[in-house]
Amino acid sequence: MGILLQAATQAVTTAVDTANSIMPAAAAPIKELSVLELLTKGGFMMIPLVVALVVAVFFIIERWLFFRQRSKINDNLVRDVLEKLYAGNIQGADALCLADKSALGNVLQAGISQLGKPIDHIEKALEIQSNIEINEMEKRTGWISMISGVAPRLGFIGTILGVIKIFYSIAQTADISIGTISAGLYQKMITSATGLIVGVLSFMGYHFIFMLIDSYSAKLEKQIFEFVKGIQKPVK
């Protein structure tokens, strides 16, 4: 009887061990990565990409603030300036333009400075000053454009370096398991994604600024036309 009980116990133990060996072990909990930890896994190529992002965002915001300050158009400015000119108060008209502190005010000041000369001189002065104002608004946007093109290429360089790292690890260990190549895959995917994100943000910011400038340029030309038409109007 004792021999039968011992055999039965051994059989149960063997069955349990066999079942445990067949059943997969409980998966280890996946560690959550913060954004900073994820970025650090992209390798040293993340440094120029982060710098490029900071520079692009800085110039986008700086250009937008500058544009908002200089692009104010007072719809009554041309009318008020012409009224001063009709009254013979050139200094008063110039003071109105100076107080406006906008690109339109600077352009009208350039035209007022040429009063008394032929109309083509006045128009030329208005055109030159308007070009100067537009160029001031476009200043530094070249940096944004450059980053929009360079950032994806930096990400591609990181991708190549990640592939090189993968093959180097395989050559050293003769192991092609996911554990061997995971570090290279991290670097490859993170740098590619970051480069594309920086490039897209820079591209959108660059064209957003230029859309604003183009829209303002059309409005400025309309105000200049009204001024030229007004100074040629016979004074009653």
Tokens of 144: 């944004």
Number of domains making up the chain? 1
Give the percent of the chain with pLDDT over 70: 73
pLDDT in tens, 103-139: 999 999 999 998 888 999 999 999 999 999 999 999 9
pLDDT in tens, 41-100: 656 778 899 999 999 999 999 999 999 999 988 889 999 999 999 988 999 999 999 998
Q: Kindly state whether residue 32 falls inside one of the protein's structural domains.
A: no
Other residues' Cβ atoms within 10 Å of the Cβ of residue 165: 18
Confidence band for 12, pLDDT divided at 50, 70 and 90: very low
Give this prediction's pTM. 0.74
What domain range includes position 65? 39-142+202-231
Which range is least confidently modeled, 50-54, 127-131, 159-163, 232-236?
A: 232-236
Q: Kindly state whether residue 21 falls inside one of the protein's structural domains.
A: no
What span, in angstroms and rounded, lies between the C-alpha atoms of 125 and 128? 5
Q: Kindly state whether residue 53 falls inside one of the protein's structural domains.
A: yes
Q: Kindly state whether residue 169 falls inside one of the protein's structural domains.
A: no
Tokens of 148: 């929009």
Residue whose structure tokens are 């128009």:
123
Q: Kindly state whether residue 160 falls inside one of the protein's structural domains.
A: no
Q: What is the pLDDT of residue 10?
A: 55
Q: What is the pLDDT of residue 136?
A: 93
Alpha helices in the chain (DSSP H): 2-22, 35-40, 46-70, 77-86, 90-100, 103-112, 119-138, 141-173, 178-231
The DSSP symbol for 43 reads -
- Distances in Å between the alpha carbon of 59 and those of 96, 198, 217? 31, 13, 21
pLDDT in tens, 168-221: 767 777 766 666 566 556 667 888 888 999 999 999 999 999 999 999 999 999
Q: Kindly state whether residue 97 falls inside one of the protein's structural domains.
A: yes
Q: Kindly state whether residue 55 falls inside one of the protein's structural domains.
A: yes
Confidence band for 146, pLDDT divided at 50, 70 and 90: very high
Residue 19 identity: A
Q: Kindly state whether residue 1 falls inside one of the protein's structural domains.
A: no
What span, in angstroms and rounded, lies between the C-alpha atoms of 119 and 125? 10
Residue whose structure tokens are 């895959």:
185
